[in-house]
Structure formats: C-alpha cells, structure tokens
Structure 1
Amino acid sequence: MRLERLTSNKIKIFLTTDDLYDRGLTKEDIWVDSMKWRQLFHDMLEEASEEFDVDFHGSVAVEIFSIQAQGMIMIITVDDIGGEEEMLLYDSFLDMHVMGEENEGLLYTFDSIEEVIELSKRLLPMNIGGGCLYGYEERYYLFFKDVHPDELEKTASILSEYGDASILSPHVLSEYGKKIIENQAIETIYHYFG
C-alpha cells in the first residue's frame, strides 16, 4: 500500500492486488458491504492519519479507480469543517460516500529503456503489441489503452516481470510526460532494437 498526499484534505492510496489478497479481499469486495472491507478502510484511514497528520472527522468522500490486473487507487477527500462547534458535532462520526470508476488500461513504469526493449522482445512474438511510450521524471511509462479481456492477465503478468504497475494516471502522463512513441510502441521498439 502506497500513500500520497495530494492536497491539504485529499490523499491518494494505491493498493495492489497482492495488498488486497494479503488481507483476504478481492477488488469485487469493495462493492459489497463486508466487515473485511470496513476493517481495511479503517486501517487505511488510520495509517494515512498517522503519516500525514490528518484527522478524519466529518464527511469523507472516497473515489475508487479499479485498475485491471494491478489493483486500485483510492482518492480520499475530507470535507473541510468550519469552526470548533461544528467539529464537536462530528467528533466520532464518519460519513463515507463511495464513487467508482473502472479503468480498462494497463500502465507500467520502467527504470530504463533497456527494460522496455527486453519487454518488446518478449511481447511481440506472443502477438501482444500496441501501447504508447512516455518519459516522465527520469522513468519510462508504457500505457496499453485497449487490452483484449482474454489477454489482460497474461499481458499484466509479463509487464510485471519487467516493470511495476504505476499509480500515475494516463491523464497525468499525457499532460506532463513526454510522449516518445504515440502508437504501436512495442512494434516500433522491436523494429529498431529487436
């Protein structure tokens, strides 16, 4: 589990599928009101509270972005509460609003271009291609927008051998990253370096 403070009242939590599995949960469990899910949520709030010195009182909005074969990203926003009197009203009350969004793409990060080259040598002979290659903050990012559902687990598994699932969104990359290869990144890299 990785935590990142986005603003004074907003925190991003990235949970891998392994994090969920270690706690006896699946991504599907978040849509069911279960005690395991409630315990995980309270554990995450407690850890975020300790790490970022944030008190979770009042209304908390939770946005959940499920990333196929990688895990999930949760954005937790604490409503700003004005005045000490209002704070007393909410002292032990936590109201949670959950919104979800499914992301069909795969986004992985790599330390070096050599890892991406080796990955392309592995993927293309298996008829797995496409992708968009970005550079951002001295790392390489490979984004596959439309992965066939039958190939999703296999593709994610191979990507995980060479890189790490990224907690960045494709939108951040398209805005702030440098687009190196826009389309057919695997085929292009294999053509020049394979």
Structure 2
Amino acid sequence: MKIERLSQDKIRIFLTFDDLLERGIHKDDMWREPPKLHELFLEMMEQAYTELGFDASGPLAVEVLAMPAQGMVIIITRGKVNEQRGAAEEEDELEDDIYDMEVTMEQTDVVMYAFRDFEDVIAAAAQLQSSGLSEGGVLYAYKGKYILAIDPAELEQNRFHAVIALLAEYGEATSVTFAVLEEYGKTIMPENAIREICSHFLS
C-alpha cells in the first residue's frame, strides 16, 4: 500500500491486487464484502495519519479507480467541517466511528506500466514484439518515468496475462490514472509505440 499527499486536504492511496489478497479481498469481490472493506478503509486512514498526519475527520469524498493489471487507486479528499455544529453533535459522530463519505467508482481497462530507465522500455518492447505483440501502445514521460499504456482491445484475451507478466518484469504498476497522463504527461510516441521503439532502438 502506497500513500502520497496530493495537497493539504487530498491524498492518493495505491493498492495492488497482492495488497488486497493479503487482506482476504479478491478483486472480483471488492464491493461485495462490506465488513472487510470497512476494515481496509480504517487501516488506510490509520496509515495515512501515521505517515502523513492526514486526519480523516469530517466529510470525505472518496474516488475509487479500479485498473485491470495494477490494482486500485483511491483518492480521498477531506471536505470542510461545518463549524456551527454543536459539541453534542460532534460527540455523537465520534461515538459512531463512521466516516461521512461520498464514494464514486470508476473502472479503466487501459494497462499502464512505469519504467525508470529507457533501457527497460526498450527491453520490454523487444520482449513484447518477440511474443507477437508488435502493434499498439502509447509512450508517455511523466515525473521522471516512462509510462507505456496499452489498450486491452489491442491484446488477444488469451495473451493478456502473459503481456502483464512481461511488463511487470521490466517495469512496475503505476498509480497514475490515464486521465492524468493525458493531461499532464508528455506524449513521446502517440501510436504503435512498441513497433516504433523496436525499429529505432533495436538493430
């Protein structure tokens, strides 16, 4: 579980599928196990407080983005507490130990892996091409890393997991969302990145 502060009132939590499995939550059952998810949320809030001093009191907006290969990105934004509430009302809320949350959920199918070094991007592209995937892929630069994004429509269903395994060998799952990449990332190769990398950097 990785936690980072985005602003004074906003944090981002990245959970891999391994993180979820360690806590007894299978990715297909993510939204069918309320007690386990409640425990997971409490654990996340404790860790956010310990690591970042993020106090999750008051109303919270929780955005959950499920990604097919990487896991889950959870963005938590703390709202402004209404200062006109009475002390008795605040005590009641503390006793309940229930967070006032507004949850929105999204799912993206785009597979994204980050690479620290361009040599790793070349090595991954070479392996992908030799395994039969020579078309597709968009390459971005974002915060000192290279990120390869692949639309699953470009992958045959039976080769999906093999491609993920290859990408994981050279890169790492990233918590950056595709929307953030599109807006803030620098597009290096807008299409057929795998073929372009291989043709330019492999003799």
Structure-2-length-normalised TM-score = 0.86
Q: 3-state DSSP class of the match of 2:147?
A: strand
CA contact (8 A) 1:105 1:146 kept: yes
How much has 1:67 moved relative to structure 2?
A: 0.6
Unmatched 5+ stretches in structure 2: none
1:134 correspondence with 2:140: yes
How much has 1:86 moved relative to structure 2?
A: 5.1
Match of 1:191 among 188, 192, 199: 199
CA contact (8 A) 1:73 1:167 kept: yes
CA RMSD, 1 decimal: 1.9
In the alignment of these two chains, the number of paired residues is 194
What amino acid does structure 2 have at the position aligned with 1:170? F
Match of 2:173 among 153, 165, 184: 165
Tell me, in whole angstroms, the C-alpha distance in 1 between the residues paired with 2:152 and 2:131.
Answer: 17
Corresponding residue of 2:109 = 104
Tell me, in whole angstroms, the C-alpha distance in 2 between the residues paired with 1:5 and 1:62.
Answer: 14
Corresponding residue of 1:8 = 8
Tell me, in whole angstroms, the C-alpha distance in 1 between the residues paired with 2:158 and 2:64.
Answer: 24
Corresponding residue of 1:71 = 71
Per mean C-alpha deviation after superposition, the further-off stretch among 28-37 and 86-95 is 86-95
Match of 1:114 among 106, 112, 119: 119
CA contact (8 A) 1:57 1:93 kept: no
What amino acid does structure 1 have at the position aligned with 2:161? E
What amino acid does structure 1 have at the position aligned with 2:185? G
Cα 1:107–1:86 change in 2 (3 A) is farther
What amino acid does structure 1 have at the position aligned with 2:180? V
How much has 1:126 moved relative to structure 2?
A: 1.6
Unmatched 5+ stretches in structure 1: none
Structure-1-length-normalised TM-score = 0.90
Name the % identity. Answer: 36
Cα 1:86–1:157 change in 2 (3 A) is farther
Tell me, in whole angstroms, the C-alpha distance in 1 between the residues paired with 2:8 and 2:84.
Answer: 18
1:125 correspondence with 2:133: no
How much has 1:157 moved relative to structure 2?
A: 1.2
Q: 3-state DSSP class of the match of 2:30?
A: helix
Deviations 1:36-65 (CA, angstroms, capped at 9, x unpaired): 222111100111122222322233222110
Match of 2:150 among 125, 134, 144: 144
